[in-house]
Amino acid sequence: MKSSIVLISNPAARSASINKFDSASAFLQEKGFHVKLLLTEKSGDATHLAEEAVKEKPYAIVAAGGDGTINEVMNGMVKSDVPLALLPLGTTNVLAKELGIPEEMTAALTAAISKSPRAVSLGRIELNSDTDSAYSRYFCLMAGIGFDGKTVSEVNPAIKRKSGKAAYILSGLKNLLHYAPNQLFYHIDGKEFTGFASVTGKSSRYGGNFKITPDADLADPVLYTCIFQGRKRSDLIRYVYRTVTGSLFKEKDIIYLKSNSVEVHGSAHIQIDGDYIGVTPATITVEKDALKIIY
């Protein structure tokens, strides 16, 4: 045997199945690897499984699932020497698109065992709390605050499992009808800004192949933040249209900034990498060379 590979798999992922996990294990075994297949059962499992797996120092840990599963696995691997590989099985597979990793299983696994690990920088978000137990998470795609976060918070898991992106669209339409955002206050590298929603990106892609932070790059240890200053429902519809058509930066009521840190004050929902995590206030920073990813 060459070495071991740990395959952390989410059976609830959109394109996942036990047969697919077994096929992935068989493929890797044929290539000479000992494979340990671990299945998640609930939210948070992937992080705990990854924390234990890195202690065994395998050749790689393969995250098999969507961007949320990948985020959980990643959070259990930060600052370890074990590289992360991807088997994208989710609804949109944004990180795989960002890194050029194929979504077809055999091609993705071939990349996992043939390409070299690269160090990447991650975003780190801490939810500011009056208690001593502040909550923090790392992200590799984005932190969406405001409408974005609220939409993700109300996605129906059953609909998501059956119809994928439609679950997000339905939640978005519901929240659009009742859109009444709170004003948010941003402190970014010593400057003050206001807005009603924002996306802080560590990667260039959003929701597939859309671009809200087009200059963000996992290899670059900085953050890019897009702040939306319009508060009306019509403003939100305009931003969505501009994002879909690739013309967002023609709008005059957005702020687009490169920075090392972002503080957000006020009350709004937050999602990171497509998973809901809580509400602001929050502080976002960047962690250089926090993880190795094979791509």
AA letter at 56: E
Q: Helix 67-75 and helix 45-54: axis angle, to 10°?
A: 40
- CA distance linking residue 265 with residue 50, whole number of Å: 32
Q: What is the pLDDT of residue 1?
A: 43
Q: Helix 165-177 and helix 233-244: axis angle, to 10°?
A: 150
User: Ramachandran region of residue 220, left (φ > 0), alpha (ψ -120 to 50) or beta?
Assistant: beta
Q: What is the pLDDT of residue 161?
A: 65
- Domains delineated in the chain: 4-115 (3.40.50.10330), 122-288 (2.60.200.40)
Q: Helix 18-30 and helix 105-114: axis angle, to 10°?
A: 40
Q: What is the pLDDT of residue 155?
A: 81
Are 67 and 15 in contact by the 8 Å Cβ rule? The answer is no
- The pTM score is 0.92
Q: What is the pLDDT of residue 2?
A: 63
Which tokens belong to 243? 């994002």
Per-residue confidence in pLDDT tens, the chain, 295 aa: 469 999 999 998 888 999 999 999 999 999 999 999 999 999 999 999 999 999 999 999 999 999 999 999 999 999 999 999 999 999 899 999 999 999 999 999 999 999 999 999 999 999 986 555 579 999 999 999 999 999 998 886 766 666 667 777 777 788 888 889 999 999 999 999 999 999 999 999 999 999 999 999 999 999 999 999 999 999 999 999 999 999 999 999 999 999 999 999 999 999 999 999 999 999 999 999 999 999 9
Are 7 and 40 in contact by the 8 Å Cβ rule? The answer is no
Give the dihedral sign, CA 20/26/27/33.
positive
Are 206 and 152 in contact by the 8 Å Cβ rule? The answer is no
- CA distance linking residue 117 with residue 294, whole number of Å: 4
Helix, strand, coil percentages (3-state) for the chain, rounded to 5, are 30, 35, 35
Which tokens belong to 207? 């929701």
Q: What is the pLDDT of residue 177?
A: 82
